[in-house]
Amino acid sequence: MSFRKFSESFFNKQTFKYLFTTHFWGPVSNFGLPIAAIMDYQKDAEYISGPMTGSLIAFSAIFMRYSLAVTPKNYLLFACHFVNECAQLGQGARYINYHYLEKK
């Protein structure tokens, strides 16, 4: 496939139309959650909120399912919540390790 064919298939009206929808910008703006969780790995585990981490784990699990239940499927939203789920599970493990396993 030549570069010209690729660029014509990728840069078309449908692509640009998609870029101006909430189907695109909603997940893009939601990526702040996993980015914040990943950046918090550098902070001390003492400051992790267990209830909030648990809520975010449930929230991301629910919205991963929702992103595949809507029509059309929103794979960008799924990716956002998948990354957040992984990041929050890591924070949850740090919370449990700090509050329940290290203090013995």
Quick one: which of 68, 79, 80 has its CA closest to 34? 80
Q: What are the tens digits of pLDDT across the range 52-76?
A: 999 999 999 999 999 999 998 999 9
- Say how many C-beta atoms besides its own lie within 10 A of residue 99's C-beta: 13
63 membership: H or E segment, kind and range = helix 50-69
Q: What are the tens digits of pLDDT across the range 11-32?
A: 777 777 877 888 888 888 989 9
- pLDDT computed for residue 68 by the predictor: 96
Residue spans per domain, the chain: 34-104
Percentage of the residues of the chain whose pLDDT score is greater than 90? 65
Q: Indicate if the pLDDT at residue 94 is higher than 70.
A: yes
